[in-house]
């Protein structure tokens, strides 16, 4: 987002040499921030906009396996559905998902003989196998992995963290550049025609003004998933009892397994440890009784059941619906069926609640269709900002030059702006490392360019 409110020539006349110098320094770093983040922000906007409608799109794309005809006949027991799935895909079952609605299929997740995890979809009314898809192989899971660069490992996830931090700096610097300086237009209106640079400058500035706060929100609420900052904040929050529910503190035997290892879970519970079943030697209750217990305890349909991983394992029922108040995780002793832990959103610590609310809005879940459409509009605004920034730069850049904004008359302005940006670098260490790298590149570029200016 390379927002320019006044031209370099007009700035000194309007605000004085010192103010113009600071303006140019902010403009220069705003340009660098856009240069770093632009392609990634477009990727995040496109994939994020699609993922907002994951339920609708996955239901449409995979309707042959995810949708069934509602019938008056009773649904088959979970154990029978799992048995039918294993006939098609022999292996070890790790997860079972009862049908969320009368027209939804049951899902059985299992490891095959080669260790690959696959989801088998079964009609709950007649236990007929409908088909199978590799685990996290649905269209929207692919979009989600692209959104987080999950396909490319932790280094790529670190890039997303850097982009998120720079996006925050981009919005704040863009707001400063937008701030009215006696100009008659381009504050909340767009002047000129598409063939003129002023049109794209005004379009960029006004779009940034309208969407900037939302972009800031998306950047901040996306940080909990980041590879370094998110992991450390999660660890700190839970270690201070700001994230873990109070239920984790009850006196039951705890294993070294974490809830995140059992399957997808809410961010603030990723490091929550699983309890242990203690009735070794007794007969396990079985999947049918476990599902019946979860229903009896009022776990909202759409929940997933993770099966015990061993003799000390537990049945874990978890659900993360659009309504935050219905988020819940229950662990059952696999021998007695007794609830060992029962955690809900109401049990989260204050930081956990705030972050989960932010994540829910970020994903377009909190306010239904209104939430989805609002976040979609923000995604479209990000794409428009990128297009207008590129067009504006192309029309402004000198022939044969990268078109970096000119240096400020007072070089110390660069140092002042860098010091202000460094605050964000302290909060987000990976952003700080990239900030230092960018400052070195800028310094080296200036050293290379200086002799050329002397010769001319």
Structure confidence by residue, pLDDT tens digits, 395-408: 888 877 778 888 88
Between the alpha carbon of residue 313 and those of residues 45, 286, 317, 389, the distances in Å are 40, 13, 13, 54
> Do 97 and 32 share a domain, yes or no?
no
For residue 11, pLDDT beyond 50: no
> How far is it, in rounded angstroms, from Cα 227 to Cα 357?
20
Edge-to-edge strand ranges of the sheet holding 129-134: 129-134, 117-122, 106-111, 92-97, 304-306, 314-319, 328-333, 339-344
State the CB neighbour count (10 A cutoff) for residue 24: 22
Kind and range of the H or E element at 96?
strand 92-97
* Side-chain half-sphere CA neighbours of 78 within 13 A: 24
- Among 137, 157, 192, give the residue marking a domain's end: 137
More confident residue, 380 or 429: 380
Average of per-residue pLDDT across 234-240: 66
Which percentage of the chain shows pLDDT scores above 90? Answer: 53
- Among 76, 103, 137, give the residue marking a domain's end: 137
pLDDT in tens, 412-440: 888 888 888 888 888 888 888 999 998 88
Average of per-residue pLDDT across 159-170: 90
pLDDT in tens, 312-337: 889 999 998 889 999 998 999 999 99
For residues 7 and 15, is the Cβ–Cβ distance under 8 A?
A: no
> How far is it, in rounded angstroms, from Cα 268 to Cα 244?
7
pLDDT in tens, 192-228: 999 999 999 999 999 999 999 999 999 999 888 777 7
In a domain, 233, yes or no: no
The pLDDT score that the predictor gives to residue 268 is 55
> How far is it, in rounded angstroms, from Cα 1 to Cα 207?
10
> Do 195 and 282 share a domain, yes or no?
no
> Do 259 and 334 share a domain, yes or no?
yes
> Do 217 and 159 share a domain, yes or no?
yes
pLDDT in tens, 45-69: 999 999 999 999 999 999 999 999 9
Count the domains in the chain.
Answer: 3
> Do 297 and 315 share a domain, yes or no?
yes
In a domain, 359, yes or no: no
> Do 35 and 184 share a domain, yes or no?
yes
> Which burial class, exposed, middle or buried, applies to 396 when counting CB atoms under 10 A from its CB (0-12, 13-18, 19+)?
middle
For residues 96 and 286, is the Cβ–Cβ distance under 8 A?
A: no
> How far is it, in rounded angstroms, from Cα 274 to Cα 313?
8
CB neighbour list of residue 380: distance below 8 Å, 6 or more residues apart = 45, 49
For residue 166, pLDDT beyond 60: yes
From 389, 419, 453, 409, select the one nearest 11 (Cα to Cα): 409
> Do 151 and 214 share a domain, yes or no?
yes
Cα torsion 300, 301, 303, 307: sign: positive
pTM of the predicted protein model: 0.84
For residue 171, pLDDT beyond 90: yes
For residue 280, pLDDT beyond 60: yes
Average of per-residue pLDDT across 448-456: 48
In a domain, 390, yes or no: yes
Q: What is the mean pLDDT of the chain?
A: 85
For residues 176 and 205, is the Cβ–Cβ distance under 8 A?
A: no
In a domain, 379, yes or no: yes
pLDDT in tens, 173-192: 999 999 988 777 778 889 99
> Do 334 and 265 share a domain, yes or no?
yes
- Among 80, 111, 137, give the residue marking a domain's end: 137
The pLDDT score that the predictor gives to residue 107 is 97
Confidence of residue 257 (pLDDT cuts 50, 70, 90): low
In a domain, 282, yes or no: yes
The pLDDT score that the predictor gives to residue 254 is 57
From 438, 433, 289, 269, select the one nearest 347 (Cα to Cα): 269
| Domain region containing 88 | 64-137
> How far is it, in rounded angstroms, from Cα 29 to Cα 180?
19
The pLDDT score that the predictor gives to residue 57 is 96
> Do 47 and 150 share a domain, yes or no?
yes
The pLDDT score that the predictor gives to residue 51 is 97
β-strands 339-344, 106-111 pairing: unpaired
No. of helices (H) and no. of strands (E), the chain: 14, 10
Kind and range of the H or E element at 445?
helix 429-455
For residues 103 and 63, is the Cβ–Cβ distance under 8 A?
A: no
> Do 14 and 73 share a domain, yes or no?
no
Calculated CA dihedral for residues 107, 108, 113, 117, nearest 10 degrees: 60
> Do 409 and 433 share a domain, yes or no?
yes
In a domain, 171, yes or no: yes
> How far is it, in rounded angstroms, from Cα 230 to Cα 214?
20
* Side-chain half-sphere CA neighbours of 360 within 13 A: 21
The pLDDT score that the predictor gives to residue 456 is 35
In a domain, 1, yes or no: no
Structure tokens at 86: 């294993």
For residues 41 and 163, is the Cβ–Cβ distance under 8 A?
A: yes
pLDDT in tens, 72-119: 999 999 999 999 999 999 999 999 999 999 999 999 999 988 889 999
Confidence of residue 14 (pLDDT cuts 50, 70, 90): very low
Name the DSSP letter for residue 75.
P
- The CATH number of the domain holding residue 118 is 3.10.450.40
For residue 141, pLDDT beyond 70: yes
> Do 160 and 47 share a domain, yes or no?
yes
In a domain, 279, yes or no: yes
């Amino acid at each position: 987002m390379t927002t320019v409110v006044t031209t370099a020539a007009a700035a000194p006349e309007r605000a004085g040499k010192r103010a113009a110098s600071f303006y140019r320094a902010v403009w220069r770093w705003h340009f660098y921030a856009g240069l770093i983040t632009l392609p990634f922000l477009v990727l995040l906007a496109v994939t994020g906009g699609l993922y907002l409608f994951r339920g609708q799109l996955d239901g449409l794309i995979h309707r042959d396996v995810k949708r069934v005809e509602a019938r008056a006949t009773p649904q088959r027991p979970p154990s029978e559905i799992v048995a039918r799935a294993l006939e098609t895909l022999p292996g070890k079952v790790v997860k079972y998902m009862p049908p969320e609605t009368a027209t939804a299929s049951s899902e059985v997740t299992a490891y095959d003989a080669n260790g690959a995890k696959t989801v088998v979809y079964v009609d709950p009314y007649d236990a007929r196998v409908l088909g199978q898809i590799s685990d996290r192989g649905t269209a929207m899971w692919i979009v989600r992995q692209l959104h987080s660069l999950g396909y490319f490992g932790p280094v790529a996830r670190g890039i997303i963290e850097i982009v998120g931090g720079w996006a925050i700096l981009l919005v704040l610097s863009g707001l400063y550049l937008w701030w009215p300086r006696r100009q008659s237009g381009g504050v909340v209106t767009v002047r000129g025609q598409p063939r003129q640079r002023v049109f794209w400058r005004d379009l960029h500035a006004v779009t940034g003004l309208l969407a900037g706060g939302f972009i800031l929100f998306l950047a901040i609420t996306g940080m909990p998933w980041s590879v370094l900052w998110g992991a450390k904040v999660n660890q700190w929050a839970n270690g201070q009892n700001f994230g873990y529910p109070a239920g984790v503190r009850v006196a039951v035997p705890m294993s070294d397994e974490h809830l995140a290892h059992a399957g997808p879970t809410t961010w603030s519970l990723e490091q929550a440890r699983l309890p242990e079943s203690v009735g070794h030697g007794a007969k396990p209750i079985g999947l049918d009784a476990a599902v019946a217990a979860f229903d009896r305890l009022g776990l909202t349909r759409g929940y997933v059941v993770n099966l015990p991983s061993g003799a000390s394992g537990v049945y874990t029922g978890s659900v993360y619906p659009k309504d935050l108040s219905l988020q819940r995780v229950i662990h059952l002793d696999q021998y007695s069926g007794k609830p060992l832990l029962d955690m809900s959103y109401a049990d989260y610590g204050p930081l956990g609640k705030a972050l989960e609310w932010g994540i829910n809005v970020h994903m377009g879940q909190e306010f239904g269709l209104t939430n989805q459409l609002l976040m979609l509009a923000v995604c479209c605004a990000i794409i428009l900002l990128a297009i207008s920034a590129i067009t504006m730069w192309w029309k402004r850049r000198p022939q044969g030059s990268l078109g970096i904004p000119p240096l400020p008359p007072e070089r110390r302005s660069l140092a002042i702006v860098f010091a202000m940006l460094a605050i964000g670098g302290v909060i987000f260490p990976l952003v700080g490392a990239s900030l230092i790298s960018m400052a070195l590149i800028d310094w080296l570029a200036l050293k290379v360019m200086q002799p050329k200016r002397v010769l001319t």
